[in-house]
Amino acid sequence: METSSVARRLSTRFVAGETLDDALAVARKLNAEGITVTLDHLGESVSTLDEAAEARDVYLRTLDAIHLKAIQGNVSLKLTQFGLDLSGEQCLANVDRLVRRAAEIGSFVRVDMESSAYTDRTLDLVHTLHGRHGAVGVVIQSYLHRSQADIEKLCGARIRVRLCKGAYLEPAAVAFPRKSDVDKSYLDLSRYLLENGVYPAVATHDEAVIRQTCRFVADQQIPLDSFEFQMLYGIRRDVQRRLVAEGYRVRLYVPFGKAWYPYYMRRLAERPANVFFMLRNIFRR
């Protein structure tokens, strides 16, 4: 799959390429369209601390390249890629180096949220590093029952939040099983963030949610430069361009790296709905 010509054409729709230079080239094109980026080096769980250190070093090079080449962008990471399953202490040290470097150059690190098994450890690490350096934010998933309380605490600490619906298969004990409940939670949490958060990121491709968010922003007279919409590279370019034309800030999550096949398979395996989401956007004009 990773070497076939058909699969590589498929991957280029949603992945910038295998190298940092590939990602930077995509980032420059997006910046020229008025879109900022978040670069993500693919590769989630690691099996050794040496691999975690390699991931850290790739991210350090990415941050420096973004700064040196004046790219309008930042980075995001998963803690399992930085060794969380192997050593909480070493994972913290790895991410600390990255966040410290981001603070030095005026950049930013977003810590992605993984399954609910990692939520407490992820939030603890982000609160710790924000207290040390600033320059770090986190992702919150609206389908978790706990997310309202988590967001209130993050807003109180002035930590930036990226809100998404959530892609992992979770039990009903921790997450809303019905889409309607997830959507309602998303709208409630996004409105709370828009009024109380620090430069929140509204991460969605749901056009109904986007329309309702835009109406809320207009009704409450929320400045358009006080938040941003976030989407995935290769998904709904028509919506992205329209939002930019209307004066909204838009940022794309741009993955790169050789581990694109596990990235795809994980997304598809986590929730069956992701299969149809990807297929719709492969054939969407």
Q: Give the CATH number of the domain where residue 131 resides.
A: 3.20.20.220
Among residues 159, 162, 151, 153, the alpha carbon closest in space to that of 198 is found at: 159
- Given a cut of 90, is residue 270 above it in pLDDT? no
- Tell me the pLDDT band of 259, cut-offs 50, 70 and 90: confident
Taking all residues of the chain, what is their mean pLDDT, rounded to a whole number? 91
- Asked whether the beta carbons of 217 and 235 are under 8 A apart, the reply is no
Residue range 163-196, pLDDT digits in tens? 999 988 899 999 999 999 999 999 999 999 999 9
Place of tokens 């596990």: 262
Q: What's the pLDDT at 167?
A: 84
pLDDT over 80 (residue 284): no
Is residue 126 within 8 A of residue 105, CB to CB? The reply is: no
Using alpha carbons only, give the angle 141, 145, 148 rounded to the nearest 5 degrees: 70
Show the domain range for 203: 5-283
What six digits make up the tokens of 236?
């709904």
Question: pLDDT tens digits, residue range 104-138?
Answer: 999 999 999 999 999 999 999 999 999 999 999 99
pLDDT of residue 234: 85
C-alpha 226/C-alpha 86 separation (Å) is 38
Lowest average pLDDT, out of 203-207, 237-241, 280-284, goes to 280-284
Which of the residues are catalytic?
Answer: 112, 162
- How many domains is the chain built from? 1
Confidence of residue 5 (pLDDT cuts 50, 70, 90): low
